A and B are shown apart, each in its own frame.
Chain A
Amino acid sequence: MNDLLLDVREVSKTFVRGRLLSREKIVAVNKVSLQLAARRPEILAIIGESGSGKTTLARMILNMETPTSGRLLLDGTDLATINGSAGRLAFMHRVQPIFQNPFESFNPLKRVERYLLMTRLRFAGTAGGSTTAEAVDAALHKVGLSLREVSGRHPHELSGGQLQRVAIARALLAEPKLIVADEPVSMIDASLRMSIVNLFRTLRDELGISIIYVTHDLATAYYISDRIMIMQKGSVVESGDARDVLKAPRHPYTYQLREAVLLPEVANVSANATSSMNGLISPGTPERRA
């Protein structure tokens, strides 16, 4: 048995973009390392600038993108050595994705329940008694939906939040060990958002699933994650215990992030009214926490 579920060793990814004459090299991920222990499931939050490489890193962990340099190992197996459909299926059994924009991640022509039923059938080895439809319905119930409600619908016939919940249910059907969730709750209302992050916690505690939680929502990251990693321009600038990092940031960017969180409350209006000269909100508005 391996001690590490996931071992990411100094991975980098470079993209080349633009027209022939004005080619530009973009270092999307720059020498990032991270480990998840096999015996101690945890929720790891990744927070960072828009365009800082979070999705690219997530896609490398999901084996959907090959690193330019560095290695990724799952249960001690190098992802680069996985090939053939059996190998890929076994990998997807262990690691499941939830993508950033559900509108882009579903095939618009395929009915949602077919998608779920097929997913379940593919992973049916562990079905343990329940029928395929029952398993799909049970997974949908965990995210506040039901098979009856989604059946017959195409992805665009569901709301953004519903579709994202379907994506989470789909990931659960594989009974994975690791879920890589890229901004999974950004299109979900606050109340349901809490239900879903609480569900992540239950998955960790009761099913032993580890979760990589990419998010812009610092408050839910604080609320559920064990560890946190802050990224800027492809590199990790700070990492550690989630509460410690967010309560007492060391890196200036972490501090800047925490200070930019918009609080759900309205402070004294007149105190704020003088800001916004050139359209930028003044950096010291008093509605923020000290």
Chain B
Amino acid sequence: MLASVAQPHGDQDVQPLLVVRDLQAYYRTSHAGVRRGIRAVDGVSFTVRRGEIYGLAGESSSGKTTLIKSIAGAIKPPLEIVGGSMEFAFLPGYGGLHRAPRAMVERIRWRHLSYIMQGSMNVLNPVRRIGSSFIDFAYPHIGGSRKQFEQQVVAHLARVRLDPSVLSAFPHELSGGMRQRATLALATICRPGFIIADEPTTALDVVVQKEVLGMIRGIQRETGSSVLFVTHDMGVHAHITDRLAIMYAGRLVEEAATAEIFGNPLHPYTKNLISSLPRIGEDAPRTGLGGAPPNLADPPSGCRFHPRCPLASEICSRKVPVMREARSGHRVACFAVNGDDPA
């Protein structure tokens, strides 16, 4: 982890950039007369501090993208915010982007907050050349002469190792990794105070990935911005995030400084996640977690991990464990760690 330099870490009196409280975000669908609610985010609370890279990992379909979409205000039916709030320092009093007036949100986008969606094609207009996308989105915020702007774009592309020739290409003419880097460049060129990124480096080879992470870290340091970073790649988390939260079946199950999560994982799901990682040179067989991922339309009672948990006891299927500080700065939701919680 490269973190923790010149950052107001642990400095709780600085107002945090984002406070998420008891957020519930459900997909409400009806198919062939059957209505169902998918409880993709179900009671999530956390804080993103100023100048930190906050990581989010967790099982596939555990609700990471839904959480991120909710925070970024990308809420379209059937997704609904059912409860809770998301308070941004730069947008006080609204409880979330989705509650703020549209014009205000437009002003904030790209400049204060940029959101890199999973699948990354989405922001690049498929029928516009890459260069035109930069002019459409970034030029209005940066201004100056067109020539200066172009120079700035070219310099910025170089930081993600892209040749200026990509500016005249259409998105489909680029490889997946080149598209991802173009998207990242677009999302960071205005140096926003808050960058939300969902799997932004999945299509990159490890050499380029390392450089791109360095670029994100560099911008984050230069501007003191905060980053909310979702990835399945635990190596990336170990390398770039300051704090890390683990999500399982719509809830956070653990959160701590990244070094602490790797060095001293407490939740049984986190432990399995970390021990399942293979390494070059190690030949021992590795198995994934047994049992099927939970169906969020009908999640298990109590602790949602209990059907797959080696430590499950009777209480686990009855009561929902809450996130509690087990050690300083290390929160976990598990009866085996915290004991039975009378609250």
Interface residues of A (CB under 8 A from B): 15, 17-19, 22, 24, 47-52, 55, 100-101, 103-104, 144-146, 149, 151-153, 157-162, 165, 183, 186-196, 198, 216, 218-220, 222-223, 246-247, 256-258, 260-267, 269, 272-273, 275-276, 278-281, 285, 287, 289
B27 — which chain A residues lie within 8 A by C-beta?
157
CB pair B207 A260 closer than 8 Å: yes
B286 contacts which of A189, A223, A281 (Cβ < 8 Å)? A223
CB pair B238 A287 closer than 8 Å: yes
A267 to B1, CA, bound (A): 7
CB pair A257 B57 closer than 8 Å: no
Residue on B nearest A47 in the bound complex, by CB: B205
Q: What number of A-B contacts does a CB cutoff of 8 Å give?
A: 230
Interface 0/1 of B53-66, CB less than 8 Å to A:
00001111100010
A273 to B1, CA, bound (A): 8
B142, CB-defined interface residue at 8 Å: no
Q: Which of B89-97, B213-221, B323-331, B332-340 contacts A (4 or more CB under 8 A)?
A: B213-221
B19, CB-defined interface residue at 8 Å: no
A144 — which chain B residues lie within 8 A by C-beta?
292-293
Q: Which of B43-51, B102-110, B271-279 contacts A (4 or more CB under 8 A)?
A: B271-279
Min Cβ gap A249→B in Å is 10
Min Cβ gap B294→A in Å is 10
CB pair A189 B232 closer than 8 Å: yes
Min Cβ gap A16→B in Å is 10
Q: Which of B146-154, B165-173, B299-307, B310-318 contacts A (4 or more CB under 8 A)?
A: B165-173
CB pair B213 A281 closer than 8 Å: yes
B2, B60, B295: which has the most chain A beta carbons within 10 Å?
B60
A272 to B209, CA, bound (A): 18
CB pair B234 A50 closer than 8 Å: no
CB pair A219 B203 closer than 8 Å: no
A158 to B32, CA, bound (A): 18
CB pair B3 A280 closer than 8 Å: no
CB pair B234 A190 closer than 8 Å: yes
- Name 19 interchain pairs, CB-CB below 8 A, sorted by A: A47-B205, A50-B178, A50-B203, A51-B175, A145-B292, A157-B27, A157-B29, A188-B232, A189-B232, A195-B287, A195-B289, A262-B209, A264-B235, A264-B238, A266-B1, A269-B3, A276-B218, A281-B2, A281-B211
Interface 0/1 of B157-177, CB less than 8 Å to A:
001000001001100011111
B204, CB-defined interface residue at 8 Å: yes
CB pair B211 A280 closer than 8 Å: yes
- How many chain B residues touch A (Cβ–Cβ < 8 Å)? 79
Known: A189-B273, A281-B210. A261 touches B280 (CB 8 A): yes
A256 — which chain B residues lie within 8 A by C-beta?
207
B236, CB-defined interface residue at 8 Å: yes
CB pair B203 A264 closer than 8 Å: no
A53 to B204, CA, bound (A): 13
CB pair B60 A159 closer than 8 Å: yes
B279 — which chain A residues lie within 8 A by C-beta?
219, 222, 263, 289
B22, CB-defined interface residue at 8 Å: no
B236 — which chain A residues lie within 8 A by C-beta?
262
A47 to B209, CA, bound (A): 14
Min Cβ gap A200→B in Å is 13
Min Cβ gap A27→B in Å is 13
B258, CB-defined interface residue at 8 Å: yes
The B215-262 residues at the A interface (CB cut-off 8 A) are: 215, 217-219, 221-222, 232-239, 258-259, 262
Residue on A nearest B38 in the bound complex, by CB: A157
A262 — which chain B residues lie within 8 A by C-beta?
206, 209-210, 233, 235-236, 238-239
B199 contacts which of A187, A194, A246 (Cβ < 8 Å)? A187
B259 contacts which of A19, A158, A190, A266 (Cβ < 8 Å)? A266
Min Cβ gap B74→A in Å is 12
A9 to B195, CA, bound (A): 46
Min Cβ gap B182→A in Å is 12
A276 — which chain B residues lie within 8 A by C-beta?
2, 214, 217-218, 221
B5, CB-defined interface residue at 8 Å: yes
A24 to B273, CA, bound (A): 45
Known: A49-B205, A187-B199, A260-B209. A194 touches B287 (CB 8 A): yes
A24 to B174, CA, bound (A): 13
CB pair A265 B288 closer than 8 Å: no
CB pair B168 A257 closer than 8 Å: no
CB pair A160 B262 closer than 8 Å: no
CB pair A187 B232 closer than 8 Å: yes
CB pair A264 B262 closer than 8 Å: yes
CB pair B295 A149 closer than 8 Å: yes
CB pair A279 B215 closer than 8 Å: yes
CB pair B119 A266 closer than 8 Å: no
A266 — which chain B residues lie within 8 A by C-beta?
1, 238, 258-259, 262-263
**What 10 A-B pairs are tightest by C-beta distance, nearest first?**
A279-B218, A161-B60, A50-B177, A262-B235, A195-B288, A152-B31, A103-B119, A264-B234, A266-B259, A159-B61
